[in-house]
């Protein structure tokens, strides 16, 4: 049964069947305020992404808006206070992207440890002229200490992979203890600074909040071991990027893997792009066919329940 309510999606998404009057903005980028408004003036709901600025100025001009389905877990781009005050229901897509993001995090970890992104081009460019005993040396992950900053769903899944595949020792920092997680993974809760000092590999998986913005600055970076590996697949704003550049120029840290930066996309002339020990991917944490399809389906499942006056599956506000 069709639900004849207008829904505007700011991006082309892998949805299949959905019961709404759907209009999709197809700019291939985040639409501007006016571009959203031109199509969504009468919309009942929006399907949005992290790059869309759903601020008070825009929301005030959408008088019929009753719901926002965020195609992501984070909702920092949405004025949640305004939505709460005006009874606009906001949902997100947790759980369905856990596996994909954990896999990407581990891929960055392995790549940085074995320096694959530096070794592979030597073949295509002809720089590699033969096997060399001391050439392209990386770092083994087995039995190393993995420090996870933010032991939510994704952080816990990364720990399971690390324990199962590489017998890594799990350290974690979180605002509260997870006793079941500790028991299952023999994980140890530490303060942030203790974790940074002890870990061989550090993964940033904490959500972006006022408390975690610029959580990692020069002081924290220099607490890390000189040959530590640092991975960020959470949000770029968690780390002071200029401090990271300064520390790397001082030959501190073995390698850094970033799926998120500030800003996104990163300017081509950013010093990070010229530091060989840094591997940057274009925010592809959840970019598997399976995860993106599940995310889209969850967005529309939530909207369908809201349209039927039922509680959405994953409400934010």
Q: What domains can be seen in the chain, in order of their start residue? A: 6-95+289-307 (3.40.50.720), 98-280 (3.40.50.720)
Q: What is the per-residue pLDDT for 60?
A: 98
Enter the DSSP assignment of 32.
P
- Spell out where 21-133 has E strands: 21-24, 45-48, 67-70, 89-91
What's the rounded mean pLDDT across residues 218-243?
98
Q: C-alpha distances in angstroms, 192 versus 114, 154, 200, 206?
A: 26, 18, 14, 12
Q: Which two tokens stand for residue 28?
A: 């291939």
Residue 269: what are its φ and ψ, rounded to 5°? -90, 10
Report strand pairing: 67-70 vs 89-91. Answer: parallel
Please confirm, yes or no, whether 235 is among the known catalytic residues. yes
List, in sequence order, the alpha helices (H) in 19-97: 33-40, 56-59, 80-85
Who contacts 184 (Cβ-Cβ below 8 Å, separation ≥6)?
Answer: 160
Q: Which two tokens stand for residue 29?
A: 């980028």
Q: Which two tokens stand for residue 67?
A: 């719901």
Q: What is the per-residue pLDDT for 28?
A: 87
Q: Which two tokens stand for residue 240?
A: 């002071």
Q: Are 66 and 306 in contact (CB under 8 A)?
A: yes
Residue 70: what are its φ and ψ, rounded to 5°? -85, 125
pLDDT over threshold 80, residue 41: yes
| 3-state secondary structure at position 84 | helix
**From the candidates 264, 277, 289, 292, which is the catalytic residue?**
264
Q: Which two tokens stand for residue 182?
A: 């500790």
**Tokens 């900053």 identify what position?**
149
Q: What is the per-residue pLDDT for 190?
A: 98
What's the rounded mean pLDDT across residues 26-40?
94
Q: Are 150 and 207 in contact (CB under 8 A)?
A: yes
Please state the pTM of the whole predicted model: 0.92
Please confirm, yes or no, whether 163 is among the known catalytic residues. no
What's the rounded mean pLDDT across residues 77-86?
98
Q: Are 29 and 65 in contact (CB under 8 A)?
A: no
| 3-state secondary structure at position 146 | strand
**From the candidates 235, 242, 276, 292, which is the catalytic residue?**
235
Give per-residue pLDDT as tens, 258-295.
999 999 999 999 999 999 999 999 999 999 999 999 99
Cα–Cα distance for residue pair 163/279, rounded to 1 Å: 24
Q: C-alpha distances in angstroms, 133 versus 130, 140, 227?
A: 10, 16, 20
Q: What is the per-residue pLDDT for 17?
A: 76
pLDDT over threshold 80, residue 3: no
pLDDT over threshold 60, residue 1: no
Strand partners, 69: 47, 91
Q: Which two tokens stand for residue 5?
A: 């309510």
pLDDT over threshold 70, residue 2: no
Give per-residue pLDDT as tens, 143-169.
999 999 999 999 999 999 999 999 999
**From the candidates 283, 290, 292, 304, which is the catalytic residue?**
283
What's the rounded mean pLDDT across residues 34-43?
96
């Amino acid at each position: 049964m069709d639900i004849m309510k207008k829904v505007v999606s700011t991006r082309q998404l892998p949805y299949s069947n959905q019961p709404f009057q759907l209009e999709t903005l197809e700019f291939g980028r985040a639409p501007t305020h006016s571009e959203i408004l031109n199509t969504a003036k009468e919309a009942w709901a929006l399907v949005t992404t992290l790059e869309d600025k759903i601020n008070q100025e825009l929301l005030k001009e959408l008088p019929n808006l009753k719901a926002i389905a965020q195609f992501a877990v984070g909702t920092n781009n949405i004025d949640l206070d305004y939505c709460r005050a005006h009874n606009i229901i906001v949902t997100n897509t947790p759980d369905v992207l856990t596996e994909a993001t954990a896999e990407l995090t581990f891929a960055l970890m392995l790549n940085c440890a074995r320096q694959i992104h530096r070794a592979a081009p030597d073949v295509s460019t002809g720089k590699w002229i033969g096997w060399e005993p001391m050439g392209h040396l990386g770092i083994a992950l087995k039995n190393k200490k993995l420090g996870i900053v933010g032991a939510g769903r994704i952080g816990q899944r990364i720990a399971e992979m690390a324990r199962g595949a590489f017998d890594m020792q799990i350290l974690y920092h979180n605002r509260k203890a997870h006793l079941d997680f500790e028991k299952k993974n023999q994980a140890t809760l530490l303060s942030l600074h203790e974790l940074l000092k002890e870990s061989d590999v550090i993964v940033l998986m904490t959500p972006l909040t006022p408390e975690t913005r610029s959580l990692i600055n020069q002081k924290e970076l220099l607490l890390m071991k000189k040959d530590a590996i640092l991975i960020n697949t959470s949000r770029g704003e968690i780390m002071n990027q200029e401090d990271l550049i300064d520390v790397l120029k001082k030959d501190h840290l073995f390698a850094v893997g970033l799926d998120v930066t500030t800003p996104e996309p990163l300017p081509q002339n950013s010093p990070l792009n010229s530091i060989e020990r840094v591997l940057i991917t274009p925010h592809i944490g959840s970019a598997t066919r399976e995860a993106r399809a599940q995310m889209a389906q969850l967005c529309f499942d939530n909207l369908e329940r809201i349209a039927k006056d039922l509680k959405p599956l994953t409400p934010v506000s």
